[in-house]
Amino acid sequence: MKVVAFNGSPRKDGNTSILIDHVFVELQKGSIETEKIWIAGGKIQGCLSCGKCFENQDRACAVKKDMLNSYIEKMLEADGIILGSPTYFGSVSPELKMLIDRAGMVSIANGRMLSRKVGAAVVAVRRGGATDTFNTINNFFFLNQIIVPGSTYWNFAFGLNKGDVVKDEEGIQTMKVLGENMAWLLHKLNG
């Protein structure tokens, strides 16, 4: 089994990445393969609302000039999907929103092709807006029939500068339990 995580922060090794790693530790303990993809490093554009994904129904976005279709392939190959984001003005980063809009629409256009995969949001935040960020990511999961495990709190941790999130003990514990529950659910669904 495999979980692919998309880090939507422009800071490659920042707080979002650190939180994803804490989830990964528990997945790996459950013998689940993990891969983290940093999407903000390459160019990714927003949805053009061209509707071609509904015409073509080829499990791909009609815009081929960026990395988006390779990310969709990674989602299709994986059993679980983590979408990670810093909180930017009370929402996800623009890079993650582009992934959500385009991969989400391609999935809908192709009979909700991501259905019954397991999905989890991971959010880094300095102070406010994390629940909106968390909800935006969950919108992607819920309307694509992706199954979402819970944790002991909503999946975010507090920190401003790189590495600050490790000082948020409850946030780190939330990621640990999220990883345990994601591993448990993946084994139940695929065992």
Ligand X SMILES: Cc1cc2nc3c(=O)[nH]c(=O)nc-3n(C[C@H](O)[C@H](O)[C@H](O)COP(=O)(O)O)c2cc1C
* Contacts with ligand X, residue ranges (CB under 6 A): 9, 11, 14-16, 86-90, 124-129, 159-160, 162
Nearest to 141 by CA among 110, 111, 112, 179: 112
Burial of 43 (0-12, 13-18, 19+ CB in 10 A): exposed
Q: Which is nearer to ligand X, 34 or 87 (CB)?
A: 87
Q: Which is nearer to ligand X, 16 or 69 (CB)?
A: 16
Contacts with 6 (C-beta within 8 Å, 6 or more apart), sequence order: 36, 37, 39, 71, 81, 82, 83, 84, 96, 99
Q: How far is the CB of 131 from ligand X (least distance, A)?
A: 11
Q: How far is the CB of 164 from ligand X (least distance, A)?
A: 7
Whole-angstrom distance, CA of residue 116 vs CA of residue 144 = 8
Q: How far is the CB of 188 from ligand X (least distance, A)?
A: 30
Q: How far is the CB of 32 from ligand X (least distance, A)?
A: 23
Q: Which is nearer to ligand X, 61 or 92 (CB)?
A: 92
Q: Which is nearer to ligand X, 3 or 40 (CB)?
A: 40
